[in-house]
Amino acid sequence: MSDEDISGALKSPVDRLLEISSPALADEEGSGTGELGELLRRRNGFYAFLGALHVFPTVASGEEISQAEWNADALWKGSYPNLGAEYTAFAEDVFGGQFLHSESGVFQLEPETGELERISADIPDWCAALLEEPEVLTGYPLAEEWQERHGRLPIGKRLIPRTPFVLGGDFACENLMLVDSAESLRWRAELAAQIRDVPDGGKIVLRYG
């Protein structure tokens, strides 16, 4: 094993993720407690995996929304009744799926169903999971393909399926549209409520746009 390989093997998952990430999204140093606060003090918001992963800064900067603003119930979070104050949305994948931090670990919100999946026990393990399965956890192959066709993803926008994945929509560029992330979450919260409450054989009404 070369010295370079040994050096890389000794680096923490946080170090390795930050190495492949964008510069900080805010000039001001990040804040907060615990491992999430430490991550944001090291780099206050960033993009990774061709923009598929978006970590929110603790302060607004230009068009970048702050973490506190992003977590306001009135913006989108209150549309999901299972997301109490114990969950802090701190990052999102290319489809607007939210990564949430809590004392119980890091979870990912599936916007179309409202279900939470535990990804890791803590932030370092979350970084390790991203590095191991970025295709699954961030959707970056589709982010790459979409941007090759249409250009860079604008700030505040994510790629949302025209036909929801949960209803059989294809994981393909042809089924994706560029939408404001918060708006898309409110739409899909309504879809999640319908899926939860619709009786067998009932109909689901999509209200995108």
Per-residue pLDDT band for 33 (boundaries 50, 70, 90) equals confident
Distances (CA, A) of 68 to 19, 40, 65, 100: 26, 13, 8, 13
The arithmetic mean of pLDDT across residues 25-35, rounded, is 92
Give the tens place of pLDDT for each residue, 131-184: 999 999 999 999 999 999 999 999 999 999 999 999 899 999 999 999 999 999
- Confidence band, pLDDT 50/70/90 cuts, at residue 9: low
**Which residues make Cβ contacts (< 8 Å) with residue 46, sequence separation at least 6?**
18, 21, 22, 23, 24, 25, 55
Domain-wise residue ranges, the chain: 3-197
Angle at 99 between CA 96 and CA 100, to 5 degrees: 130
Q: Is the pLDDT reported for residue 26 higher than 70?
A: yes
- Tell me what percent of the residues of the chain surpass a pLDDT of 70: 89
State residue 203's pLDDT score.
60
Confidence of residue 206 (pLDDT cuts 50, 70, 90): low
Higher pLDDT, residue 95 or 193: 95
Q: How many degrees, rounded to 5, is the angle at CA 192 between CA 83 and CA 137?
A: 70
Give the whole-angstrom CA distance, residue 196 versus residue 194.
Answer: 5
Structure tokens at 140: 């970056």
Residue 201: its pLDDT value, please? 54
Q: What is the mean pLDDT of residues 7-19?
A: 85
Residue 193 pLDDT class (50, 70, 90 cuts): confident
pLDDT at residue 207, as a whole number: 61
Lowest-pLDDT choice from 4-13, 16-25, 92-101: 4-13
Q: What is the C-alpha separation between 90 and 102, in angstroms, rounded?
A: 10
Tell me: pLDDT of 103 over 50: yes
What is the mean predicted confidence (pLDDT) over 82-88?
A: 95
Asked if pLDDT for residue 190 goes beyond 50, the answer is: yes
**Residue range 184-192: mean pLDDT, rounded:** 93
The pLDDT confidence band at residue 53, using thresholds 50, 70 and 90, is very high
